[in-house]
Amino acid sequence: MKKLLVVLLAVLVVMAFANLKVALLINGTLGDKSFFDSAARGIKMAEEKLGIDGKIIEMGYDQSAWRPTLEDIADQDYDVIIVGTWQMKEILEDVAPMYPEKKFIIFDTSVDYSLGDLDNVYSILYKQNEGSFLVGALAAMITTSGMPKTNPQPIIGFLGGMDIPVINDFLVGYIEGAKYINPNIKIIISYAGAFNDPAKGKELVLAQYRQGADISFNVAGETGIGLLEAAKEMDKWAIGVDSDQALAVEDQDPVKAQHIVTSMMKNVDLSIYRALKLTIEGKCPYGKAEALGIAEKGVGIADNKYYRQIVPKKFRDKIKEIENLILEGKIKVDTVFGMSRKKLDELRNSVRP
Amino acid sequence: MNEVIKSILSAQFFYSVLRVTTPVLFAALGALLSDVAGVINIALEGLMLMSAFWGVMVSAWTGSAWIGLLAGVTSAVLLSLALAYFHLNLKTDLILAGIALNMFASGSTVFLLYLFSGDKGSSSSVKSYVLPNVDIPGIKNIPILGDILSGHHVLTYIAFLSVFVVQYLIYKTPLGLRMRAVGENPNAAQSVGISVKRIKYTSLVLSGLMAGLGGAFLSMGYVSWFARDMTNGRGFIGLAAQALGGKSAYGSMWGALLFGAAEATSYTLQAIRIPSEFTNMLPFIFTIIALIIYARAKIMQIKKIREKQTSHEEVGL
């Protein structure tokens, strides 16, 4: 009887250890159809395949609530706490050193490790520049391809939420990808200055289309959804971002989905799953930032039915080829991080009409 | 650069000016209707947001955009009635109550959105309906003018028609006279038997009606879904546009058009090598300049009147 009890206890202890307790703190709300939803998917995936104990906590948009919530959660018995986006960076830098026994993961930005005491934080960055390189190349091919909805002018568009590094990292890749295909490409670059104004996003992109662009890439959160509407209204092409936006809208608006050639995916879900898997295996590099690119499936192009229907095979093959060249290191995509403002301006001005 | 100038001179540009102006114009008229009765309706932003939300939701449930519009406007009117009740019956501070309602609208719409659609960002998972665009038969065929004036959203036409209606209401009807009287001097109005409270209620309801139409335009025409905080300051810009235009509906319209034109210009200018921070600032720079010009003109006017008065007094002496 005593033996049985010991065995039972041992089993319980093992189970308790196997069940990694993970909290995902979302500094906003679910339902953004991209970033936060994708992170939640990653947790679900890890629950199913790795048997973790996941909890998703929506902190809302009131920034003053974020720090106390993070501290509260860190006080509880979670093993790993996941947060995301640049808005959580400084908060995590303050909170993580107070809980050295906890592990923290932050996605889509990196904490400043030179501050010290951050050995328990693993930062996931995405090589959005690599993913954007692919869609930039695709846009440059489509704009002069003579496909329906295009004009002969080599002009493409870019809609950014704000003029900030993460957004500009997309832009740099997009520009370089487009120039890789066509050195004379022109890109109309618009920043909305807000992430929650779809009407403004739509208006900005209508202006782009009026000025000769026939395809545009949205990197602007809710504002960017306005680009999809503009594409539908003017019968032009659109490129989605972060998650597969064609699949996200096809149920409600199939016509709109048919205007979205593909989406540049930041695979937040896969990266969180990967990080948790590495954590369980004891191989996750806490205390470091890692940039996940095409090689780690951190970014990629949405290979859905619209992509295969709309984009001719030779273009898709070319994209595959570019993907391999990046994998092999034969194409090096620049990143905005560490780039001087002057160099960024030069790059931007080199493609402005 | 040539492309930009060509784009600004195109019919489509002027068409877009009218579209950008529409929500601001509704808000400005809403601001005007309450301002003449001496109530500053700071809650316009929240009223618009509320209407944008209910318009989408009810149109999705009923399958009719018009019923959606009705519901949206009703929700805005109800909310402005609440503002009136707080201010006039419970004697709360108007500005504080307005700010509270704005926050309430922002939070409750996200909450209800989640309740009804399971999403918290936008209603794009809900199949809602939009109000139609309208071609004007005669004008449609005139070459450039037709492209600018025809084919707009039905609420865009209603917005510009409302300008005349509001102007008529304020300056040509007994109700308008009472509203102005209450706005200028409530005590005097009361002394001649006008119920100040009732007039203020009426003007806030009318103000809510306008804001409701503006909100519905955002989610049922401009774009076809509701997004969290999608008004993004348009209610406040409407207040500024009205301040620009003084107590006349035409003035409010010109104020709103100035905003619309500046905004549309800033969209087009982004294509060339101007920093986006600057182009995004443009509408506000225009406003400040316009306000300075307006204020100077006003001061000059007052000075002239004073000079006249003093010279009269001297003669009288």
Q: What ipTM, to 2 d.p.?
A: 0.82
Question: Do A260 and A280 belong together in one domain?
Answer: no
How far apart CA B76 and CA B23 sit, in angstroms, is 14
Q: Per the CB < 8 Å rule, is A203 touching B4?
A: no
Give domain status of residue A298, yes or no. no
Q: Considering CB atoms only, which of B3, B20, B277 is closest to A203?
A: B20
Mean pLDDT of all residues in chain A? 90
Query: Above 80 in pLDDT, residue B273?
Result: no
Give domain status of residue A303, yes or no. no
Q: Please report residues of A whose CB lies closer than 8 A to that of B5.
A: none
Question: Do A77 and A120 belong together in one domain?
Answer: yes
Q: Considering CB atoms only, which of B7, B120, B273 is closest to A210?
A: B7
Q: Per the CB < 8 Å rule, is B222 touching A202?
A: yes
8 A C-beta contact, residue A98 and residue A230: no
Q: Considering CB atoms only, which of A189, A249, A253 is closest to B270?
A: A189
Give domain status of residue B21, yes or no. yes
CATH of the domain at B123: 1.10.3470
What integer pLDDT is reported at residue A138 of this predicted model? 96
Question: Do A285 and A195 belong together in one domain?
Answer: no
What integer pLDDT is reported at residue B313 of this predicted model? 65
Question: Do A283 and A179 belong together in one domain?
Answer: no
Question: Do A113 and A33 belong together in one domain?
Answer: yes
Question: Do A283 and A248 belong together in one domain?
Answer: no
Whether B223 and chain A come into contact, CB under 8 Å, resolves to yes
**Three-state secondary structure call for residue A107:** strand
How far apart CA B170 and CA B28 sit, in angstroms, is 14
How far apart CA A122 and CA B278 sit, in angstroms, is 37
Give domain status of residue A46, yes or no. yes
Q: Dump pLDDT digits (tens) for B121-180.
A: 788 778 888 999 888 888 888 888 888 888 899 999 999 999 999 999 999 999 999 999
What integer pLDDT is reported at residue B316 of this predicted model? 55
Question: Do A122 and A132 belong together in one domain?
Answer: no
Whether B276 and chain A come into contact, CB under 8 Å, resolves to yes
Q: Dump pLDDT digits (tens) for A22-57.
A: 999 998 888 766 778 889 999 999 999 999 999 999
Mean pLDDT of all residues in chain B? 89
What integer pLDDT is reported at residue B51 of this predicted model? 97
Whether A346 and chain B come into contact, CB under 8 Å, resolves to no
Whether B270 and chain A come into contact, CB under 8 Å, resolves to yes
Q: Per the CB < 8 Å rule, is A199 touching B222?
A: yes
Work out how many domains chain B is built from and give that number.
1
Whether B280 and chain A come into contact, CB under 8 Å, resolves to yes
8 A C-beta contact, residue B56 and residue B68: yes
Q: What is the average per-residue pLDDT within B282-287?
A: 80
Which of A252, A256, A347 to mutate: most B Cβ within 10 Å? A252
Q: Please report residues of A whose CB lies closer than 8 A to that of B229.
A: 196
Q: Per the CB < 8 Å rule, is A353 touching B3?
A: yes
**By residue range, what is the domain housing residue A207?**
128-265+312-351
Give domain status of residue A159, yes or no. yes
8 A C-beta contact, residue A239 and residue A218: yes
CATH of the domain at A99: 3.40.50.2300
Q: What is the average per-residue pLDDT within B252-279?
A: 86
Q: What is the average per-residue pLDDT within A199-211?
A: 92
Query: Above 60 in pLDDT, residue A15?
Result: no
**Three-state secondary structure call for residue A242:** strand
Query: Above 70 in pLDDT, residue A66?
Result: yes
How far apart CA B216 and CA B239 sit, in angstroms, is 18
Range with lowest mean pLDDT among A339-348, B81-90, B198-207: A339-348
Q: Dump pLDDT digits (tens) for A138-190.
A: 999 999 999 999 999 999 999 999 988 889 999 999 999 999 999 999 999 99
Whether A190 and chain B come into contact, CB under 8 Å, resolves to yes
Question: Do A189 and A172 belong together in one domain?
Answer: yes
Q: How confident is the model at residue A75 (pLDDT cuts 50, 70, 90)?
A: very high
Provide, for chain A, the percentages of residues in helix, strand and coil under a 3-state DSSP scheme, each rounded to the nearest 5.
50, 20, 30
Taking the CA of residue B110 and the nearest CA in chain A, the distance in Å comes to 9
Q: Dump pLDDT digits (tens) for A101-146.
A: 999 999 988 899 998 889 999 999 899 999 999 999 999 999 999 9
Question: Do A287 and A140 belong together in one domain?
Answer: no
Q: What is the average per-residue pLDDT within A7-17?
A: 55
Question: Do A52 and A192 belong together in one domain?
Answer: no
What integer pLDDT is reported at residue B1 of this predicted model? 60
Looking at A76-164, list the stretches that DSSP marks H as alpha helix, in order from N- to C-terminal side. 89-95, 128-143
**By residue range, what is the domain housing residue B117?**
2-276
How far apart CA B287 and CA B245 sit, in angstroms, is 11
Give domain status of residue B306, yes or no. no
8 A C-beta contact, residue A136 and residue A174: yes
Q: Please report residues of A whose CB lies closer than 8 A to that of B10.
A: 210
Nearest to A260 by CA among A213, A297, A308, A293: A308
Give domain status of residue A304, yes or no. no
Question: Do A194 and A246 belong together in one domain?
Answer: yes
What integer pLDDT is reported at residue A13 of this predicted model? 52
Q: A236 vs A304, B131, B271, CA distance in Å? A: 19, 22, 18
Residue percentage of chain A with pLDDT more than 90: 73
Q: What is the average per-residue pLDDT within B63-92?
A: 96
Q: Considering CB atoms only, which of B7, B126, B218 is closest to A199?
A: B218
Single-letter amino acid, residue B170: I
Taking the CA of residue A192 and the nearest CA in chain B, the distance in Å comes to 7
Give domain status of residue B300, yes or no. no
Which of B7, B232, B284 to mutate: most A Cβ within 10 Å? B232
Whether A197 and chain B come into contact, CB under 8 Å, resolves to yes
Whether A332 and chain B come into contact, CB under 8 Å, resolves to no
Give domain status of residue A91, yes or no. yes
Q: Dump pLDDT digits (tens) for B7-52.
A: 777 888 899 999 999 999 999 999 999 999 999 999 999 999 999 9
Kindly state the DSSP code that residue B10 receives in the 8-state scheme: S
What integer pLDDT is reported at residue A4 of this predicted model? 64
Question: Do A92 and A140 belong together in one domain?
Answer: no
Q: Considering CB atoms only, which of B10, B23, B271 is closest to A188?
A: B271
Whether B228 and chain A come into contact, CB under 8 Å, resolves to yes
End-to-end CA distance of chain A: 83
8 A C-beta contact, residue B5 and residue B183: no
Nearest to A87 by CA among A166, A196, A173: A166
What integer pLDDT is reported at residue B35 of this predicted model? 93
How far apart CA A120 and CA A211 sit, in angstroms, is 50
Work out how many domains chain A is built from and give that number.
2
Whether A212 and chain B come into contact, CB under 8 Å, resolves to yes
Q: How confident is the model at residue A10 (pLDDT cuts 50, 70, 90)?
A: low
Give the residue with greater pLDDT, B10 vs A320: A320
Question: Tokens 């990629």 map to which residue?
Answer: A300
Give the residue with greater pLDDT, B286 vs A174: A174
Q: What is the dihedral of CA A307, A311, A315, A318, to 10 degrees?
A: 0
Q: What is the average per-residue pLDDT within B280-309?
A: 82
Give domain status of residue B312, yes or no. no
What integer pLDDT is reported at residue B274 of this predicted model? 77
Give domain status of residue A109, yes or no. yes
What integer pLDDT is reported at residue A12 of this predicted model? 53
**Three-state secondary structure call for residue B214:** helix
Retrieve residue A295's tokens: 């090689």
Give domain status of residue B288, yes or no. no
Which of B276, B277, B278, B281 to mutate: most A Cβ within 10 Å? B276
Q: Per the CB < 8 Å rule, is B267 touching A203?
A: yes
